[in-house]
Amino acid sequence: MKKGIHGVSRHLFLLLCGLVAATQAGAGQIVYSGWNGEGVSNNPPLATVFTLDEPTNIASIYNYHWNDGAGQDANLVAGTIGIDQIVSETETVVIGRWPATSWSTNPGVVANTNWVAYPNILLGPGTYKIVDSDPATWSYSSPGTGFSHIEAGPDVTATVPVNTALNVPLTQPLTVTFNDMRVPGASLNQVEVSFLKNGATRTIVATTKGVDGNTLTITPVIPWRADTVFTVTLPVGCALDGGYFPSAPYQFTFKTAIQ
């Protein structure tokens, strides 16, 4: 049964204000938002679809579960939020399902109306849809898609050398630039530069790391090995943006010059 606007307007107002305040405080870039001030029903009849034109780190997904003012029993909230890629009109590919945690912007009145999951996954250009493990309580209004909100975490915008670069000088430092790095993440020290010795054994190279603004610099302790393909691996959370969302995993390669 559809709830009138007066039945949910205050709750939606608080929720929307929370999202706006987070954005104004420097939270992640909004990738998609289906929030509005209309009354809501349960079980969206249409797919909740978003399109990416460039690689984007999906840091967080919020789904709204008003559920006719009932929200969710705290003991029953063990759901997931997921993403599928739309390949054709009849085919989708599962990208992932992530545990959802919940909270309420109107505690004491309705519980666990807001679900959030943190995929921290880098998606390429394409069309995707959001899925919810409990569509029966997932809210929607016009045009029939689910109440969802997606924010992006820090993205890698440039590397030196560029991915798959050749003839890199043996003493050249590496740089990785993010679009936003409020503070370095805890996993920064886990950034690795490695190569396959004799084509089989993965060898990690000793490096030093430094951060200046949005740029991470990686310097070899001794010169890079000549005529070798190196892989630079950045784990999740090397950078935290203004909303303290972590960066997605990232990897690039380069080949050094012949000595």
CB 103 within 8 A of CB 114: yes
Does residue 27 register a pLDDT over 90? no
| pLDDT computed for residue 111 by the predictor | 66
- Rounded to the nearest integer, the mean pLDDT of the chain is 84
Residues of the chain with pLDDT > 70: what percent?
82
Query: For residues 51 and 55, what is the distance between their CA atoms, to the nearest angstrom?
Result: 11
Among the three residues 152, 177, 205, which one is the final residue of a domain in this structure?
A: 152
User: Which residues span the domain enclosing 79?
Assistant: 5-152
Which has the closest alpha carbon to 163: 234, 253, 54, 255? 253
Looking at the structure, tell me whether residues 44 and 126 fall in a common domain. yes
Looking at the structure, tell me whether residues 35 and 121 fall in a common domain. yes
Looking at the structure, tell me whether residues 202 and 146 fall in a common domain. no
Looking at the structure, tell me whether residues 81 and 144 fall in a common domain. yes
| pLDDT computed for residue 164 by the predictor | 96
> Per this entry, what is the length of the chain?
259
The DSSP code sequence of 27-54 is -PEEEEE---SS--EES-SS-EEEEESS
Which amino acid, 8? V
Among the three residues 152, 169, 193, which one is the final residue of a domain in this structure?
A: 152
Least confident interval from 72-81, 87-96, 244-253: 72-81
Looking at the structure, tell me whether residues 43 and 148 fall in a common domain. yes
Q: How far is CA 231 from CA 21, 240, 253, in A?
A: 39, 23, 4
Query: For residues 183 and 240, what is the distance between their CA atoms, to the nearest angstrom?
Result: 6
Query: For residues 243 and 210, what is the distance between their CA atoms, to the nearest angstrom?
Result: 22
| pLDDT computed for residue 77 by the predictor | 59
* Sign of the dihedral through C-alpha 36, 2, 84, 244: positive
Among the three residues 130, 152, 174, which one is the final residue of a domain in this structure?
A: 152
Q: ∠ CA(80), CA(84), CA(89), 5° rounding?
A: 140
At 126-152, the pLDDT tens digits run 999 999 999 998 999 888 999 999 988
Give the pLDDT band of residue 72 (cuts 50, 70, 90). low
Query: For residues 10 and 27, what is the distance between their CA atoms, to the nearest angstrom?
Result: 23
| pLDDT computed for residue 75 by the predictor | 55
DSSP letter (8 states) at residue 62: E
At 39-62, the pLDDT tens digits run 889 999 999 999 999 989 898 899
Give the pLDDT band of residue 6 (cuts 50, 70, 90). very low
| pLDDT computed for residue 198 by the predictor | 79
| pLDDT computed for residue 229 by the predictor | 96
Among the residues of the chain, which ranges form H helices?
5-24
At 201-237, the pLDDT tens digits run 899 999 999 999 999 999 999 999 999 999 999 988 8
Please give the tally of structural domains in the chain: 2
Q: Please, which residues have CB within 8 angstroms of residue 163's CB and are 6 or more apart in sequence?
A: 252, 253, 254
Looking at the structure, tell me whether residues 125 and 10 fall in a common domain. yes
Query: For residues 17 and 146, what is the distance between their CA atoms, to the nearest angstrom?
Result: 19
Looking at the structure, tell me whether residues 17 and 59 fall in a common domain. yes
CATH code where residue 246 lies: 2.60.40.1220
Looking at the structure, tell me whether residues 50 and 161 fall in a common domain. no
The pTM of the full predicted model, rounded to 2 decimals, is 0.68
Query: For residues 49 and 83, what is the distance between their CA atoms, to the nearest angstrom?
Result: 10
Query: For residues 236 and 121, what is the distance between their CA atoms, to the nearest angstrom?
Result: 9
Looking at the structure, tell me whether residues 94 and 172 fall in a common domain. no
At 160-191, the pLDDT tens digits run 999 999 999 999 999 999 998 989 988 899 99
Does residue 26 register a pLDDT over 60? no
Looking at the structure, tell me whether residues 41 and 68 fall in a common domain. yes
Looking at the structure, tell me whether residues 135 and 160 fall in a common domain. no
Identify the residue with better confidence: 74 or 259. Answer: 259
Looking at the structure, tell me whether residues 138 and 172 fall in a common domain. no
